[in-house]
C-alpha cells in the first residue's frame, strides 16, 4: 500500500511537472508574441513619424514657395504634427501652426467653401488674411525651420 501511494505521488509529481513545463512554454510563446507585437508597433510608429516628418517638410517648402496659404499649411502641419514624436524645439515650431489653424478653423474648406456665395467667400478671405497677418512672421520663420526638419 505504501509503495502504491509512492507510485501515485510520483505520478502526480510527473504530471504536475509536465503541466508546469507546458505552462512555462505557453508563457514563453506569449512573451515572444508580445515582444514581436511591440517591435512591429515601434516600427509602425517610426514609419508614421518619418512619413509625417517628410510630409511636414514638403508642406513647409510649398509654404515658402507661396504654393499654399498660411492657413492651409497650418491646418495640414497642425494635423501631421500630432503624428510626430517631437522634441521641445519642434513642438514650438508646430505650435504656431496649430494656433493659426485653430484661429481660422471657422473658415469653411473644400465642398463647404465651394457652396458659399461670392460675397461670403470675399468676406471670409479678408478675415482669413487678417488673421494670417497676425501670425505671418512666426509662421514664415517656423516654416523655414521646418524645411530642415530632421527626417529620422
Domain-located, residue 75: yes
User: What pLDDT does 1 receive?
Assistant: 72
Q: 152 pLDDT exceeds 80?
A: no
Segments forming the whole domain that contains residue 91? 2-146
What is the tens place of the pLDDT at every residue in 13-66?
Answer: 999 999 999 999 999 999 999 999 999 999 999 999 999 999 999 999 999 999
Domain-located, residue 32: yes
- Given a contact cutoff of 8 angstroms between Cβ atoms, the answer to whether 103 and 74 are in contact is no
Provide the pLDDT confidence category of residue 87 given band limits of 50, 70 and 90. very high
Domain-located, residue 151: no
Domain-located, residue 123: yes
Domains identified in the chain, total number: 1
Domain-located, residue 152: no
Amino acid at each position: 500500500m505504501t509503495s502504491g501511494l509512492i507510485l501515485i505521488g510520483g505520478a502526480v509529481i510527473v504530471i504536475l511537472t509536465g503541466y508546469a513545463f507546458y505552462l512555462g512554454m505557453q508563457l514563453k510563446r506569449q512573451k515572444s508574441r508580445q515582444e514581436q507585437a511591440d517591435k512591429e508597433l515601434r516600427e509602425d510608429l517610426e514609419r508614421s513619424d518619418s512619413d509625417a516628418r517628410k510630409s511636414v517638410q514638403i508642406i513647409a517648402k510649398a509654404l515658402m514657395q507661396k504654393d499654399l496659404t498660411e492657413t492651409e499649411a497650418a491646418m495640414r502641419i497642425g494635423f501631421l504634427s500630432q503624428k510626430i514624436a517631437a522634441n521641445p524645439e519642434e513642438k514650438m515650431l508646430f505650435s504656431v501652426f496649430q494656433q493659426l489653424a485653430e484661429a481660422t478653423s471657422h473658415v469653411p474648406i473644400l465642398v463647404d467653401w465651394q457652396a458659399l456665395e461670392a460675397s461670403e467667400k470675399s468676406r471670409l478671405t479678408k478675415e482669413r488674411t487678417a488673421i494670417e497677418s497676425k501670425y505671418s512672421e512666426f509662421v514664415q520663420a517656423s516654416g523655414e525651420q521646418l524645411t530642415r526638419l530632421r527626417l529620422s
